[in-house]
Structure 1
Amino acid sequence: MKRDTITAAAIQYVPLADLYLSDLNPRQDADPEGIDLLADSIAMIGLIQNLSGLMDAEGRVGIVAGGRRLRAIARAIERDPAVTARHPELAAIPVRLAPDAATARAWASVENAAREDLHPADEIRAYGRMKEAGAEVSAIARSFGKTEAHVYRRLALAALPAPVLDALKAGEISLGTAKLFTLSQDEALSLQVLDEVRGRDVSEHRLKQALQPDTISANDRRARFVGLDAYEAAGGRLTRDLFSDNVALHDADLLDRLFADKLDEEARRIGAGWRWTEISAESYLSYEITAKLDRLYPVGGDLTEDEAERYDALAELAEAEALDEAEQAEFEALTTILDGDFTEAQRAVGGHYLYVQQDGTLRLNGPWLRPEHRDEAIAAGVLTGRADHRTGSGGAAEPAPKSPYSGALVSDMKAIRLAAIQSALLDKPELVFDLLAFGLSLASGVSTHVFDLTPGRPTNCPTKPEGLDRPARLDHAPAAHEGWSRPDLRVDDLPAAFRAFVAAGKKARNAALAEGIARTLPYGAGGSDFFTVIETDSGASIRKVWTPTAENFFGRVSADYLEGLLLSLTGCDPQGSGFKAFKGQKKAEKAATLERLFSDADYQRLWQIDAEKKARIDAWLPDCL
């Protein structure tokens, strides 16, 4: 086969007017912003690399390699014609001329295919050296043809220990991993962690934990409640992630003390005048606590005839949003009278629970009457009149507050949780074997059954599967009786089938074991505590496999629930126009709105969802499991 010969050629100097982009050049399109940046670089330091081209019949030269440089030269001269005086090579541009089309075509292919960008590690060091020499970020950006934002991101890594940058250059760690090392202020710890992660695929979460042991996220409810300003004012140390909004707090004992002190202070302030105020260490108050208590309700006030007439008039103005400031104050005062207040007798026997929610907000729950104070309350007449009450000893108990979740929805949520755990077990065959051995041995007692080895077919798919990313491997195998009617489910030569199965190897065996056993795990195996251990050790996460939608969740709870959820997740103003518009929607529209809030990034921006709120949405789960 005949081969084209590529002949060497000398450099010639050609005026810009005689140069054009050849059709042989594969880079016919260029980013205007990139050309501007390259023009800045050429204007500052001149042309470092010559162009390559092919002369046509008219004596003009078509550039086959260096098209971006050609455009940038033209842009630099267009901006500042005097640039040719500072850099003469821009007046007569050095071009390596190809002797024929075959050579030109080869040059075009080789340069554009083989061109390699500067390695990030070399780029970081180069920027760092220029910065140490006194160069401004803008000058560095122009010199390398990069944006200032890009230079800032690279300079953030320039202070990393040299071995970290060496590992990056050697391909032992990724650029993303190198960025995480900026979180550590301890070089010895950084180098120790580096040795552990070289050449390994380590999750971002695990690496952060290793680089910042014993730190607390700023999203922790304690940190949110105390506030970063108060924490720092008390001498607390923190680290801000240079590449995200994440903040890590280093003084856990100090944070715990500030949290407890502020909570105690709030309890004293809020509980003034009440019989008791109890602080709950949890982020919620369970039904089990409140179901044993009596709720106390404010005693409503009465308006005079004139006040009642005035209230009706103001209410009409309020409905039309026509109240002025004075009328609004008057309307609120009359409303307060109607709403009533708690009497001294109620305060003498009742109290509140105080706790901090996951989002760091203080929640006051009550007032409640404890069983030991019920007789005293009855004697004082607190449980009579408008106040809801339970009768004294021997009377019928007030029913516990109605759960916002239907039985079918709770069953579906349990199926979703079970699918999440079983999905995680598919990738943890060794854990499956451990659980299997434990359940089959006397170490677990004679009545513990970890797996339903009938094999059972526990429900791991909800009635409304939309939004659940459930592996097909969790589908239960066809029932045994189906083998009679389906020849494809029967095995005629069992020994041969067994030999083939064994020949597939241990990996295939482990996968089959994990798949077959994982899907028999019943909900609540071993009791709630042990089931939670399985969930934790397997790394299961409901939100990894399930996204709430209008169909599978939001349309199945009350409108009041949806309103409370929107307020909790977005932190919006209950009196703001956005929430008022939401509240005025039909339930189906509210459900659709919540679905968009969970899945539509553009819609989240409309609700001003920042990184903290986004994390809250991504982690949210209903409290019915």
Structure 2
Amino acid sequence: MPHPEPTIRSIPLSRLELAPENVRKTPADPAAFAELKASIAAHGLLENLIVRAEDTGEDPGSGPGQAPIERCAVVAGGRRLAAMKALAEEGVLDADHPVPCRVIGAEENAGEVSLAENVVRVAMHPADQVVAFSGLSSSGVSVSAIAARFGVTERLVEQRLSLGGAAPELLDAYRAEEMDLDTLKAFTVTTDHARQMAVWEQVKEYGYGPSGWQVRRLLTEENVSAVSAVARFVGEEAYEAAGGTLTRDLFAEEDARGIWFDDPVLLNELAAEKLRAAADELKKRWKWAEAVVEADWSAIAGFGRISPEPSAPTDEEKAERERLWARHDELVNTDEDEWTDELGQEAEALEARLRSIDEAVSARAAFRPDDYDLAGCIATIGHDGALKVVEGLVRPEDMPGRTDAGETNGADPGRVDAPFAAPSDPRAKVRKETGIGIGLADDQRAVRTTIVKAYLSGDFEAAFDLTLFQFACAAFADNHMAGCLDIAFRETADRPPARANYEDFAAWSPGEAMLAELPGLSLAWMENEDEDAAFAAMRALPEAEKKALYAAAVTRSLKGQLAFEPDARPEFEATVARLDIDFAKHVRPSADMFWSRITKDRILAIARATLGPVWASARAKYKKADLARAMEEAFAADPPEGLKPRAHAAALAWTLPGFAPFDTGRVEEAGEEDPPSEEPGPDAVDGEAPDSATGDAPTDAESGPDADDTAGGDTPAGGELARAIDAMNAVPTADGSLRVIVQGFDSADALVNGEAGDIPEFLRGD
């Protein structure tokens, strides 16, 4: 049966009450109710209520010629009604605020209408929220204002704005459930839409679906596509003129999609140089100007923001807008049976012209003269590869406020939006403190873990304890891990993905050879196709063979970590201390594997801490590549000519950051500069290097008798020993008493204060 045409009436708020047929009985969530109130206050009622007129014998209308009714019962829209009533009590709305309502007749089932209105609805997709919030932010609306308008937290707005850095095609894929939210977040590691789409085209074909981890890895690969924003900004000609090389795909279309820039470091240097030139020009107008290659939303959020003064429309623009809006109202009120395609085209053209006028007025917005004395700007690269200037940024120290004397600093606080504190990233903090970039950490984590695996394979007790710990956590802990023992076993890789096919990595990672040389395991029982027979054969193995098999199997699942990483597992570090691994013996830092991949300041800090301040000062003017080679020679097994035995001993005892158990990775003498997310390239400095890394520099013999004194005392080896002892003290003895291990002995077999100390086997001498 067809329903009658809906009747829309404007009814005073004071005459509306909730109908008993309204199906929504559960009280509204306070946060959602506050959000609804904020939306109505900011945008008005966007969806009419559905009401049933009470039987008063009067027409349920309030239009011309209609007698106003006494009461209407709201069948659908109870939350909206409650929100408007609350706003009226707060004085935001008038008590008789007109409310658009659809009036249903007695022939319609009010309960069914209420149920349909509440059930047949779809919540706004997060991707649509991202687009909406990003559009408001781009038009100059602050985070706090967006949050207030929609009744949500500023934190939610910030999260949605950061996702606004994803390409529109990626948001469409997220809407279509082709990726999850974590994967979408991974794409925001770069603001370059071309790079994002290149990675998406690669991962979306994976049979098991894309993951955030894969996306992040691919977005940090070495080569840079020529369609990326930074490549277009620099240009092929300028890049090649600076000595850069290109990789071209001869089978690709003859456009930038088949070209890659091979040297991202050079490319970024050229981009930064070009941006600095632009910033120098901008400094002539603004208080300050900075060059930032990639300035995403989080990079801008730390500044206050001044918006330009809006421009008023001209008399001609006002007149045209009034005429266009009048015609717009006529078209909106056109009956459906009179609507034609021509009218639809006219409406589209009319809306386009209105937008054009608004954009022209907005483009004339200008900053005040005193704004240039307070604020600055950032010169960066837009998505299209062109120069983009973000203006009106106020540093935290320049934010308007009162001085100690009680006077303002001359700026109007009401015109400056406050900055938002950037979220804390513990991994970035550790990278800054240790000077270890992402790629170097990946390599060092793999090198360290393969050595630990080799040692753990030969220690049943240590392997058993690790497994028992995880089994017990899985069985009894509230947050147990998930796999007849429901525990997952996954073999871990011995190399980071980026080094999977890197031939030289085996030379960097001696643990690979150590694992390959382990004695053969008893695996013949696995050849039985009958599982009962296979299990019986395994049970019949000698105890020693079962222990070796157990330890080797546990070893293969060990997850990699460096001691200083924020999520490093303490049981891993305690096991490393228990295994008493001499990492310094197995891994010596080479120029290409380590020294060239940390900053020059950190190299010199390590040199001062091990080889002595005189040795380091004598080489402070070296170019970084020459300094790296000098450090490789000084830390090698065979000492270079002129290096004192004591200094060389300190160098040989030094271990790579994060290798020793519980190592913080910090060097006290190091500078506070923030290391790049990837390894820095060689940096040129004043001064010429000698013909050899040690030949023309002052020898340690010339440096004085105390040149290497800093190598003594609390050496890295001593610190490792102390941490190992602390770990063992935490392990109870067989009789349940506390273990007390002291450090005051000259050798592992010596007496402590004239008595035999409780020294564990792994600390005793041979």
Same structural fold, with TM-score higher than 0.5 when normalized by the shorter chain: no
Richer in helix (by share): 1
